[in-house]
Chain A
């Protein structure tokens, strides 16, 4: 059999498991064979791992309007370097992405950039103002895969209930930033022992859990109108033990709810704020260790479906303000995989295939995309990564415009070296010859 690229002796790990070594032949945008073949480009990949390309259900790429922070080119390049082949962009741009024209324009521009593929999310309500529903059906036709008002938390329960019912009729998922604005008030970090000691305004865990509880009730309500919908409510960046317990219970009842967790909520705690460095200012805030441990448990058992990066770049100057004024968010598309591979799999024995599942099948399930598994005929959207290569995080080398990181200097393993989107090499640090 003849193909374009042959990976020889590469170890295969996808969301189903670890399948050991194979010779993988790529051609026509697909995996042609797992039993070798002929190709003009041959990669000796012994010691390297091939996995399906990662999928991020939650990234802020800032275009249009905030290109000083990030744009499609820098954001999607950062994604490809991080091993991502598919990225969902949040609609809280300027203007808000709430029209089919805006969705189409983003999609078309991303296609021309040719890095990771873009799947735009559109606003649930017009202007994300929480009043009037946006045109879900037309947005979907234009390419939107998700509806969300994201950081503009859904304060009006009645509007979210209507939105869920309407989205259900088109098979769209509604993502919520589950935090009660009245409870969160002006909090800039988790409310608790550390915030009381540091004298910083706190945002209590109950702002999240109270909102998760409400939104699950609204989901039950919407299901009275659309009982058979397979997926409907997606809870973004779950950060608390109590919020997780509510999701776990709802899943046991069979409710069509999914949830994500960010790399930072799995690796950092509120203790980091004692440095008073706004690089640790994120929303929802970093929580105490007990929450982090509960989230790891939820990720392992599947109550949490996937990793959502909440890649939220801001300029370095904005992040050098004080903790009251600096904006919430950090870039992490480029470090998410090596970070969690190192901290969870290498250091804590988290099962590798499960982590791969949470980066691949899990997020694709949230979005209603078919899974990619390493078998003949599968779409060749893949990442080749090196479990042994260890190097420190260097934000200055980021493709993202946000060149800072709470993990700067952390020595990580598992760096992606090569990313293919439908058979095309979009990133190749480990095998630059493949780019030509």
Chain B
């Protein structure tokens, strides 16, 4: 990678507000190189030797954390992990105190997940070090969107003019928000679909509809979101059977989309709730490939934040 061909990067990945198409494309190109590394018998490179990366998960998660930690280790970074849930009644240590404690340990980059939107922005303000958003509330999950884009590009070649349908609880979904920011940057048209009580009144980057058929019709790809059962407790949905009847993505309904349109799901999946169970193993399902790609994408992001960015500045 020559310095001149590499665009400069923001010092963090909080969302895609500060990102341009060339930056994203360069990042995805790096992910392709990382994928080659992961195909080798010895899946390790020295790129991040000497760097210390912290995963700081204020909201429990296993899959995403493992993916990040492995990504960092594959590049020879030292990794420390902090996890501790913050509840509304917790009177103990605040986010800021926790992060300032870690700061004293000489952390070079922070990978943060929290249940409140904006915690990663706050952390960057407090720390002034690279911060990688691993999911903040309903706000953003940028590496998920990057791995979705990476997976879609593998399958479709280009996203230019493609119709991507996202189905489920759009209002509370950081995956939907990040994809609505990212996919249009790469030329795609996003249609977000869900029941009226789980849709915002507007969402930049996406067209909204409550009509599942309208969303799926001629779609080039379909992304199905996990339905959180707690939405029922808050009175936003009358019942699970009704949601399934109206919004479950089934084999029959997938027929509305283009033939062999790839099917994505960020996981973890509620089989037979948002998605007809057998579809998870259908040929067009890319769910497993998403997980594999997640590692390569996260390696690429860490590389850019810690090494590539500085190199291009120099």
Contact = CB atoms under 8 A, between A and B. Distances in A.
A268 to B, nearest CB: 17
Contacts of B174: 199
Nearest to B139: A199
A322 B177 contact: no
A138 interface: no
A197 B16 CA distance: 12
B139 A322 contact: no
Contacts of B117: 198-200, 276, 322-324
Given A323-B117, A323-B118, A200 B137 contact: yes
Contacts of B125: 277
Contacts of B2: none
Contacts of A192: 201
B139 A198 contact: yes
Contacts of A197: 177, 203-204
Main secondary structure on B side of the interface with A? loop
A39 to B, nearest CB: 52
B88 A325 contact: yes
B177 A199 contact: yes
A192 B96 CA distance: 29
Given A199-B177, A275-B121, A322-B95, A193 B114 contact: no
A320 B94 CA distance: 8
Contact of A324 (B115, B177, B202): B115
Contacts of B301: none
Contact of A196 (B86, B121, B140, B202): B202
B122 A196 contact: no
A156 interface: no
Nearest to A204: B201
Nearest to A275: B121
A198 B118 contact: yes
Most buried by B among A193, A196, A199, A323: A199
A221 to B, nearest CB: 30
B200 interface: yes
Contact of A322 (B119, B140, B201): B119
B66 interface: no
A317 interface: yes
B183 to A, nearest CB: 16
Chain B, interface size category, equals 20 to 34
Contact of A200 (B88, B114, B139, B201): B139
A276 B118 contact: yes
A369 interface: no
B116 interface: yes
Nearest to B170: A196
B138 interface: yes
A199 B118 CA distance: 9
B202 A323 contact: no
Contact of A276 (B86, B122, B204): B122
Nearest to B58: A322
Interface string A122-152: 0000000000000000000000000000000
Contacts of B138: 199-201
B94 A323 contact: no
Interface residues of A, number: 19
B33 to A, nearest CB: 32
B203 A322 contact: no
Contacts of B200: 196
B203 A276 contact: no
Given A196-B200, A199-B177, A275-B121, A325 B139 contact: no
A229 interface: no
Most buried by B among A191, A193, A198, A320: A198
Contact of A321 (B95, B136, B137, B202): B95
Contacts of B118: 198, 200, 276, 322-323
A192 B94 CA distance: 29
Nearest to A193: B202
Contacts of B119: 276, 322
A322 B202 contact: no
Nearest to A200: B117
B122 A317 contact: no
Contacts of B204: 193, 197
Given A196-B201, A200-B139, A322 B88 contact: no
A196 B96 CA distance: 26
Interface in A302-321: 317, 320-321
A116 to B, nearest CB: 33
Contacts of B137: 199-200, 324
Contacts of A317: 94, 96
A320 B139 contact: no
Contacts of B88: 324-325
B87 to A, nearest CB: 9
A321 B201 CA distance: 28
Most buried by B among A201, A321, A322, A324: A322
Contacts of A199: 117, 136-140, 174, 177
Contacts of B202: 193, 196
Contacts of B203: 196-197
Contact of B116 (A275, A277, A320, A323): A323
A192 B88 CA distance: 25
Contacts of B86: 322, 325
Interface string A190-217: 0111001111110000000000000000
A323 B174 CA distance: 16
A209 to B, nearest CB: 16
Interface in A289-344: 317, 320-325
A220 B313 CA distance: 68
24 contacts: A193-B202, A196-B200, A196-B202, A197-B177, A197-B204, A200-B117, A200-B118, A200-B137, A201-B138, A275-B121, A276-B117, A276-B119, A277-B125, A317-B94, A320-B95, A321-B94, A321-B95, A322-B116, A322-B122, A323-B118, A324-B115, A324-B116, A325-B86, A325-B88
Ranked 4 nearest A-B pairs via Cβ: A276-B118, A199-B138, A199-B139, A322-B116
Given A200-B137, A201-B138, A277-B122, 9 more contacts: A193-B204, A196-B202, A198-B117, A198-B118, A199-B136, A276-B121, A320-B96, A322-B122, A323-B117
